[in-house]
Structure 1
Amino acid sequence: MIRVKVQRDRRGRIRRLKVSGHAGWSEAGQDIVCAAVSALTLNLVNSCQSLLGVSLPATARNGFLDLDVPPDLPDEISDQVQLLLESCVFGLWQTAVQYRHHVTMSGEVKGRWNAC
């Protein structure tokens, strides 16, 4: 089971994202649920770095991501980082809805897209 935990600040902005575990949908190397979650989270980290020049403090290793959002980012950059984070969390939520026996989400999951 993949576990996703989203923590937000009092303004509703994502402050921390933790992802751990393995989906168990299929054998290693064939697991499309693990592949989807990995693609979403790695794209988040790489997009922040490549597109925004922001290195998010993160620990990432086999089946685990713990990412903290720096509170002192300039407003414009912070807004862009938040958009990428919301997109990632939305993708993770959609994956959890589709594969509810393999991905669970906890914490303050829904953000700007909570009408979905």
Structure 2
Amino acid sequence: MIKIHIYRDHHKNIAEYLVEGHAYAAEPGSDIVCASISVLAQTTLLALYELLSIDVIYEIKDGRLYCKLPEALSTDIREKANLILDTMIIGIKGTQGMYKEFIEFYDEEV
């Protein structure tokens, strides 16, 4: 099971996200559920860093990706980051809609 946790600040901005686990929907290397979620989470991390130059705190291990944004972002960068992060969530929810049995999604305020 893949578990996705979205953590929001008191302004409802995504402050961090965690993706962990494996779907086991198919053999490793052929699992499109794992691949889909991995691509979404990793591309989001790369976009935040490469497009917006946000110095994110992150950790990537087998079956785990964690990303935390710094608190002090300008309004402009925060708005752009929100677009990237919201796009990730759209992709995750779309994938979850097709493969409910393999993905748990949590969106909470911290």
Give me the TM-score of the superposition, normalised by structure 1.
0.87
Match of 1:76 in 2: 76
Match of 1:45 in 2: 45
Does structure 1 conserve the Cα–Cα contact (< 8 Å) formed by 2:48 and 2:81?
yes
Q: Which blocks of at least 5 consecutive residues in structure 1 are unaligned?
A: 110-116
Higher strand share: 2
> Equivalent residue of 1:59, what SS?
strand
Does structure 1 conserve the Cα–Cα contact (< 8 Å) formed by 2:55 and 2:69?
no
Match of 2:16 in 1: 16
Q: Deviations over 1:42-80 (max 9, x none)?
A: 110111122111231111121101111111011111111
Question: Is 1:36 the equivalent of 2:36?
Answer: yes
Q: Which blocks of at least 5 consecutive residues in structure 2 are unaligned?
A: none
Does structure 1 conserve the Cα–Cα contact (< 8 Å) formed by 2:55 and 2:70?
no
Match of 2:26 in 1: 26
Q: Distance in 1 between matches of 2:33 and 2:61?
A: 17
Q: How many pairs align?
A: 109
Identity %: 28
AA partner of residue 24 (structure 2): G
Give me the TM-score of the superposition, normalised by structure 2.
0.92
AA partner of residue 83 (structure 1): L
Kindly report the root-mean-square deviation, in angstroms, between the aligned alpha carbons of the 2 structures.
1.4
Q: By how many angstroms is 1:108 displaced?
A: 3.0
